[in-house]
Amino acid sequence: MLIVTSAVLAMRCPECGKMEFNDFSRFVFPRGKTVNIICSCGALKLTVVTKNRVYYSLRIPCPVCESQHPVEISGSGLWSGDVTRLSCLETDLELGHIGPESKIVEMISKQEQELEDLVNEFGCDGYFHNSDIMYEVLSRLHEIAGRGGLYCQCGNHKIEVDLFPDCLELQCKNCDSVNIIYAETEEDLSVIRQVDTIELARHGFRCLDNLADADKHKKSRHKRSKT
Ligand SMILES: [Zn+2]
Ligand SMILES: [Zn+2]
Ligand SMILES: [Zn+2]
């Protein structure tokens, strides 16, 4: 029988959004003591306590609900050698994973590969005006969504994405709102890099440009780099 005692927690910080691995070995959690897993920015990522080292009570701060989700998982499940998925209890949005580091690294790189394949699939036909930018914008969107930053005002977090040659169309099927994100130029990329959340207007139509506009004016940074 294989006894697995080491594992990592792979979770984006609900505050700063950084994806970091934290030690999640069995020995980190003494009986009866609450253990806080903290991001390098100081924000709380997860609270774990076990009374009997059989069951482990987790509290996950959820960036979507802005509350904490209690989850109870058995120790044999946590250190089984398989990956445990942590998700929001309301929206089922993925919040993180616990498992052997090698499996988690593999899983994350597979997700990135799928995204790249998707872009390449369209890209080799010359579908996108700029497939590099499209890829970068999609990855950024992925990151925002993974942190619960992509949602509709009507409360829906399951936003559908359609790909067009020069933009992405985000749609809430719940109230038919639409949001367009341009993905063609470096400037488009910098727009999505500046935002942390993308909120679809209920029954409405928006372009991401408009959201970032306020920011742009504030900074009014049109400094030319020396050429
Ligand atoms: Zn953080
Ligand atoms: Zn939640
Ligand atoms: Zn909606």
Query: What is the number of the ligand closest to the CA of 151?
Result: 3
* Residue, of 147 and 168, whose pLDDT is higher: 168
Ion ligand 1: residue ranges with CB closer than 5 A: 13, 15-16, 39, 41, 43
| Residue labelled with tokens 């139509």 | 205
Domains of the chain, residue spans: 8-99, 105-219
Q: Given this model, what pLDDT does residue 179 score?
A: 93
Coil, helix or strand at residue 54: coil
Whole-number Å distance, alpha carbon 162 to ligand 2 midpoint, is 25
Whole-number Å distance, alpha carbon 88 to ligand 2 midpoint, is 4
Task: Say what percent of the chain tops pLDDT 90.
Answer: 49
Residue 90 neighbours by CB under 8 Å, 6+ apart: 62, 64, 65
Residue type, 44: L
Tell me the C-alpha distance between 151 and 16, whole Å: 18
Q: Give yes or no for residue 127 having a pLDDT over 80.
A: yes
